[in-house]
Structure 1
Amino acid sequence: MFIDPPAYRTCGDGSAASTTGSTGCAAVAEHEAGAAVTALDAVAGVDLGALSNSDLEDRVVGLVALRARVEGEYLAALGEMTSRCGAQSAAYQLREFTRMNAAQARTESRLAESLVEHDLSATLDALKCGQIQTSHAKVIAREAPQKHRRSEDEFLELCRTYPCDTVARNPLAYESLAVYADLEAEAAAAGLSPIDAELALQRFERSGSMRMGDDGTPLSARQLADYAVDANVLPAVFSADWSQLALGRTRNASDAQRLILAVRDGGCIGCELTSEPTRAHHIQYFENNGLTEIPNLASLCEPCHHDLHQHDTKIDTPPDGRPRLLPPEHDHSSPPARAPATARSP
């Protein structure tokens, strides 16, 4: 048997405040905290091993709903705290007084702040009633305030039926004629043809499949590459200017970067040897703060790499992105090389 947690009451400014005062508010808060503990105690102490499968399933579902209700009350209180002192200060207090890690404290404070700032009270009410989960609230807080998205009520209707990751993949308000009018106006302002505007919309829709996590958080190209490598898939994820998958001050190029270099350079840029025996050379030397990024890397075999350092050969990077070795500059300080002797005619 589950006991619903009590609804939190707010101590207002007017007559109620003058009647109860700060001591009365503290007493109310203490009473409700005790009632919440009593409600949790009522569901504790059950012999889980004695439950049937159906009873265990009912218990888990009931506890999930109870947890959602408690989290709804928690986010409402945290939202009030952020409105008084800001999300940063609220996050600091969470970390200081609850031993919560900094990342979690910041995330939850920003979520509570967003729910209050955008007046998403219906979302908080649905969470307090156990109708949705906190992950649903994250999707609504992120998507609903944006342009061309579903309204809060439309999101809630979906959230009461579908998991949050499914909802996150369908944020657009397709049924609204105003949305199509806005999209057409934006496409016209950007000088896009109707076909290009439609392709842009399709790309946005497909981006929904590149989301993962309980709240449908978009994945970066680097995260996608990491997941692909873990799945024994060697990805080549890069932009038109070869700027993706940069590793900063890491000296050795990654397998994914070497694959990109193989596609771009087609082998050694000095002798056109195949890519397998080449190494990734830093165009701006690593010792001179050169970064391990695709635009600063070139494929060189061992002999060409040694020759480059011996003669200080320069590398040019043309607009197409494929580096090339520049011919060695003539050294005017040394005497010109003597032409080889040729046999005289008789």
Structure 2
Amino acid sequence: ARRAITTDVVPDTAGRPARVIVTTDVATLHKAVDADASARLGHTGPICAETARRLACHANIVPVVVNGASVPIDVGRTTRAPSVGQRDCLLVRDKACRGCGAPAHICVPHHCVHWTDLGPTDLNNLVLLCDHCHQLVHEGGWNVRWNPDNTVTFTTPDQRHLVRDPPT
């Protein structure tokens, strides 16, 4: 860890180069590149353009450009597991567990309509959930639904509806 902090080397993860997900809006993308341009790195917050370039030297770049509602990457029923691209979009859209706000890096994609119940592997049927919230849905009788306005509605076993606003 100390070497990674003091050098420009980004460590491998499971033998693969690290992936850097840089999120920016269309307006920033079209501006002239300068040191004051801002991007967002995963769950750590805003970074300057130079920092993004340094981190990206030894990583695979995953650009995610947002402009209002994002365009879904849909897989449908061909596969249960979300693609790498869908996971990246979920990280950008959800930013954290949509139930309790736990950090995204400890969350898993969850099918709102379960795949075994013919639910598609599409972004409008997926949300990030931590282990605890995932257990509430699968074993605690809770239900979860992603809404087109990017809110998420949890329904408890006693039919209370808890609406979670989109992350900021």
Q: Could you state the TM-score of these two structures normalised by the residue count of structure 2?
A: 0.51
Q: Which residue of 1 aligns with 2:117?
A: 288
| Structure 1 residue 305 corresponds to structure 2 residue 134 | yes
Letter in 1 for 2:86: Q
Q: Which residue of 2 aligns with 1:274?
A: 103
| Cα deviation digits, residues 266-308 of structure 1 (max 9, x gap) | 2111211010011100001100111111000010011211121
Give the secondary-structure state (helix, strand or coil) at the position aligned to 2:62: coil
Map of 1:6-85 to 2, 5 A cutoff?
A: none
Shift, 1:312, TM fit: 2.5
Letter in 1 for 2:129: L
| Residues 127 and 146, structure 2, Cα contact 8 Å, conserved in 1 | no
Find the aligned partners of 2:149 and 2:115 in 1 and give their Cα distance: 23
Letter in 1 for 2:99: G
| Structure with greater proportional helix content | 1
Q: 1:233 to 1:295 in 2, by over 3 A?
A: same
Q: Which residue of 2 aligns with 1:81?
A: none
| Residues 126 and 146, structure 2, Cα contact 8 Å, conserved in 1 | no
Structure 2's unaligned 5+ residue stretches are: 1-58, 160-168
| Cα deviation digits, residues 43-69 of structure 1 (max 9, x gap) | xxxxxxxxxxxxxxxxxxxxxxxxxxx
Give the secondary-structure state (helix, strand or coil) at the position aligned to 2:109: strand
1:236 corresponds to which of 60, 64, 72: 64
| Structure with greater proportional strand content | 2
Provide runs of 4+ in structure 1 moved above 3 Å: 237-243
| Structure 1 residue 251 corresponds to structure 2 residue 80 | yes
1:265 corresponds to which of 94, 99, 104: 94
| Residues 243 and 294, structure 1, Cα contact 8 Å, conserved in 2 | no
Larger RCO (CA within 8 A; separation ≥ 6): 2
Identity of aligned residues (%): 32
Letter in 1 for 2:134: H
| Cα deviation digits, residues 190-239 of structure 1 (max 9, x gap) | xxxxxxxxxxxxxxxxxxxxxxxxxxxxxxxxxxxxxxxxx932133677
Structure 1's unaligned 5+ residue stretches are: 1-230, 331-346
| Residues 238 and 245, structure 1, Cα contact 8 Å, conserved in 2 | no
Map of 1:1-346 to 2, 5 A cutoff?
A: 232-236=60-64, 240-249=68-77, 250-329=79-158
Give the secondary-structure state (helix, strand or coil) at the position aligned to 2:124: helix
Q: Could you state the TM-score of these two structures normalised by the residue count of structure 1?
A: 0.27
Q: 1:265 to 1:280 in 2, by over 3 A?
A: same
Q: 1:296 to 1:243 in 2, by over 3 A?
A: farther
| Residues 247 and 292, structure 1, Cα contact 8 Å, conserved in 2 | yes
Give the secondary-structure state (helix, strand or coil) at the position aligned to 1:281: strand
Find the aligned partners of 1:275 and 1:240 in 2 and give their Cα distance: 21
| Residues 125 and 145, structure 2, Cα contact 8 Å, conserved in 1 | no
| Residues 238 and 244, structure 1, Cα contact 8 Å, conserved in 2 | no
Q: CA RMSD in A?
A: 2.6
Find the aligned partners of 2:121 and 2:69 in 1 and give their Cα distance: 15
Letter in 1 for 2:122: E
Find the aligned partners of 2:73 and 2:125 in 1 and give their Cα distance: 12
Q: Which residue of 1 aligns with 2:37?
A: none
Give the secondary-structure state (helix, strand or coil) at the position aligned to 2:105: coil
Shift, 1:310, TM fit: 1.0
Find the aligned partners of 2:64 and 2:132 in 1 and give their Cα distance: 27
Shift, 1:326, TM fit: 2.6
